[in-house]
Amino acid sequence: VAELPFDSDRKRMTTVHAVRTPLPGLACLPGGESTHVAFTKGAVDGLLRLSSRVLGPDGIEPSTEAWQDRIVAAHDELAAKGLRVLGLTFRPLEGADTDPAHLEEDLVFVGMVGLLDPPRAEVREAVARCVSAGIRPIMITGDHPLTARRIAAELGIASAAPALTGRELDAMTGAELEAAAAETSVFARVSPEHKLRIVQALQNRGHVAAMTGDGVNDAPALKRANIGLAMGITGTDVAKEASDMVLLDDNFATIVAAVEEGRTIYDNLKRFVRFSVAGNLGKVLVMVLGPLLGKPLPLTPLQLLWLNLLTDGLLGLGLGVEPPERGVMRRPPYPPGEGVFARGGGRHTVWVGALIGAVALAVGAGYFFAGDPAWQTMVFTTLAFLQVAQALAVRSDRESILTLGLRSNLSLTVLAALTLGLQLLAVYAPPLRTFFGVEPLPLADLALAAGLAVGLLLVLETQKWLIRRKVHTTTSE
């Protein structure tokens, strides 16, 4: 006839029922005196404090210290096995009283049940991948500390610090909570308000916090987190509105897959930017320094536009679909605010761009001062070939093209072949040759342009080999 719903503060719920005579299964209730009965279920420790009596083998008995010790021991035994333990109580009523202060006092403790809710099989592997990727999983739960520790151990969420409870968090200052959050990976018996404090403590320590939640009360923590993730199946509309992402399958492993996808996208963006800037820097050097060497403009605007279409367009598109690099989930996250040219990326971009420009200038100067009318065509073709080699090498900062292979990114391989084919078409097809104002190149000149591109590829591969050797030497030491 009435219900007090569960909430995270009380950690229990109560329903009130009218008593009908006879009352099967509740023979222990005082006959004829109670017209209603209240049943309360929830956390055992909370119910014990509210229970003045216990249903024993001989009927209702006073809740003595011996009984409470026996109940606590049985509860801890179940919780240590990873079971979620639910206590059951009742209270006879003489009316349909719905005042919580009356309903949830002077209870009769009936017993407890252990509920097994094992994590999904893929979660342990997902947690392990998080750890290897430099992401620290933290369990924040309303379960008993013993249950939380057991489940955390099964999932591989371990820390030297013991599990902290919401009551312990309430006694901590902000600075103490920040220190505890930096070491503790398991928080038990916490409320949504505690979740918000934990997120704030981690952020104050400079961490990027991702938070999962499904309830209305989780909304503040989801909103405060750097990345809020709401459950798509069990989550409330309020939680989904407050979050940045929604897990449609409510699966933790999906978060790890999203992290891998995000790292791959960022890596590809970084590759494209470095590739594009280096290539365009080379073209700028050719266009600026060429006239200073006493030559006309090495490239016409139309030729420059064509090169940008091939390189930034086709080759850039191929780099954008590069699959995840080996070990992408075995490295720590990039610091917030780190740019695409960090960790030597800027120096690498500049010297590669300068090398491309220098090679193209040297080729153009040699042919121009030799009086070869195809000098401009050689600059045009050499730049196209050089950037194809650059695109193949920039696929990884460390891994060799021989290790990656050409099939691992078939899109780039096809687009690189298409770029070479279109460039040859522009040089040898009469209508396009006239359109671009170029001369057909003898086979020897074409071989020279290809050889220079291979040379650039070897230089970039040698640099990656030196990086791998340095890393291997540092690791072995």
In the 3-class helix/strand/coil scheme, how is 394-444 assigned residue by residue? CCCCCCCHHHHCCCCCHHHHHHHHHHHHHHHHHHHCHHHHHHHCCCCCCHH
Residue that the structure tokens 């719905």 belong to: 98
| Domain end point (choices 68, 86, 115) | 115
Give the CATH number of the domain where residue 164 resides.
3.40.50.1000
The verdict on 217 and 288 lying in the same domain is no
Quote the pLDDT of residue 99.
Answer: 72
Q: How far apart are alpha carbons 268 and 409 in whole angstroms? A: 12
Helix, strand, coil % over all residues of the chain, rounded to 5: 55, 15, 30
- 59-62/51-56 β-pairing: antiparallel
Range of the domain at 97: 2-115
Q: How far apart are alpha carbons 53 and 48 in whole angstroms? A: 9
Nearest to 215 by CA among 461, 448, 460, 8: 8
Contact criterion met (CB below 8 Å) for 349 and 341: yes
**Residue 101 CA, distance from chain mean position:** 45
Quote the pLDDT of residue 118.
Answer: 85
Q: Considering its fold, how many domains does the chain have in total?
A: 3
Quote the pLDDT of residue 433.
Answer: 94
Q: Is 256 exposed, middle or buried (0-12, 13-18, 19+ CB in 10 A)?
A: buried
The verdict on 150 and 61 lying in the same domain is no
Give the CATH number of the domain where residue 457 resides.
1.20.1110.10
Q: How far apart are alpha carbons 438 and 245 in whole angstroms? A: 53
Q: How far apart are alpha carbons 314 and 332 in whole angstroms? A: 32
The verdict on 428 and 329 lying in the same domain is yes
Quote the pLDDT of residue 121.
Answer: 84
The verdict on 306 and 427 lying in the same domain is yes
Residue that the structure tokens 């220079």 belong to: 452
The verdict on 110 and 126 lying in the same domain is no
Q: Is 370 exposed, middle or buried (0-12, 13-18, 19+ CB in 10 A)?
A: exposed
Q: How far apart are alpha carbons 282 and 278 in whole angstroms? A: 6
The verdict on 211 and 269 lying in the same domain is no
The verdict on 138 and 40 lying in the same domain is no
The verdict on 320 and 416 lying in the same domain is yes
Q: What Rg, from alpha-carbon coordinates, does the chain have?
A: 35
Quote the pLDDT of residue 402.
Answer: 92
**pLDDT tens, 194-205?**
999 999 999 999
The verdict on 357 and 287 lying in the same domain is yes
SS3 state at 63: coil
pTM for this prediction: 0.81
Residues of the chain scoring pLDDT < 70: 20-34, 96-98, 100, 159-160, 474-477
Quote the pLDDT of residue 97.
Answer: 67
